[in-house]
Each structure stands twice: as structure tokens, then as C-alpha cells.
Homo-oligomer: A and B are copies of this chain.
Amino acid sequence: MPQEPYQTLSSRVVWRTPWYTLREDRIRLPDGSDGVYTVVERPGAVWIVPLLSDGRMVLIRNYRYTVRRWLWEVPAGGLPEDRTPEETARKELSEEIGGQASGIELVATFYTTAGISNERAFVFLARGVTLGQPDREPTEVMERHIFPVSQVMQMIRDGTISDGPSALAILLCAPHFGFEW
């Protein structure tokens, strides 16, 4: 299998938002024909699975304007260029649920939507979390809730947790808190 089957002929930024850049490339396809590929460029993001010292998990109920629904999620946020994933994870944990972790570890990474974007997700498990006052941005409309982990797993199985990256982050952390698969 060839290392680089697509050849980039030219590249230009066609739109910018504070959260991502839309890049349009003209490419040569493996069959020799030319085409266009548009990439949503994002610097990456973190998802943090927060466990209290009694083993229960903290979820947020998050309003998502994109789908006009309240979704069950774990704390998450985009990666600024001047912070490491772990620093960002600690910052989001603090801002979104007022959480401080006694320990935080990088458990996994994955690509969220490789068909259209280069965004890479960093999944952290935060243990021994204590809860204080959140410090949210005006765009963040969310509530904080605490559940036994067995109930969280059921909420993934039955579709109550419908935010994909949150569900995957929890499942990737699950073997680390006693739910083997």
C-alpha cells in the first residue's frame, strides 16, 4: 500500500472560525484524475472522564446548538496551541464542573471525524475528583450530574448518552475502572 496515495496540487484557506479553519486542496487521485478535498483543520481536543473518590462518575448535561438538543457528555474542550493536552484537560475539568483531580492520565487518542477533519481526541481519566464552583464561558450552557458507573454504562447501551466522543471516551477508560470488555 502506497505511503501517500493522494498528491496535493494546491491548497488554500477558504473560511476561518475561532474553532476551525476550512482548507480546500486540489488533489490528484490515485487513478490520475484531479479532485478537490476540503479539510476542517482543528488543533485537537480533550475529553475527560471524571471519577469521584467514591467511584461515581460526573457527567454534564450540555446544550448543543448544532443539534438543538441537550446531550449527556463528559467535560471536553478544544486544545489551544499554547497548552499541552493534560493542561487543557485540567483546565476544562475545572471550568466545566469545578473539578480538581488527584490524578489524571492519558488513556487513549482517536480521530473524531477523519472523513472531513484532522481533529484528534485525547482521552483522559481523572481520578479522585473533588467538585467546586464551575467557571463556564457564556456559550456553555450545561448542568453537572453524578451517576454510579454501572448506570453510565447502561446510559451508553440504551442511547441516553448520544454524544459519540463522550461515549467512546468512557468505554476506552472503562477497563481502567473495573469494567472490562
Contact = CB atoms under 8 A, between A and B. Distances in A.
Contacts of A148: none
Question: Per DSSP, are chain A's interface residues mostly helix, strand or loop, or mixed?
Answer: mixed
Nearest to A6: B65
A55 interface: no
B109 A113 contact: no
A162 B113 contact: no
In the complex, which range does the number of interface residues on chain A fall in?
35 or more
Interface in A14-35: 14-15, 17, 19-20, 22, 24-25, 27, 29-31, 33, 35
The copy count of this chain in the complex is 2
A163 B15 contact: no
Given A1-B70, A138-B33, A181-B174, A164 B111 contact: yes
A61 interface: yes
9 contacts: A1-B70, A4-B68, A17-B36, A19-B116, A67-B118, A71-B111, A78-B115, A111-B164, A113-B119
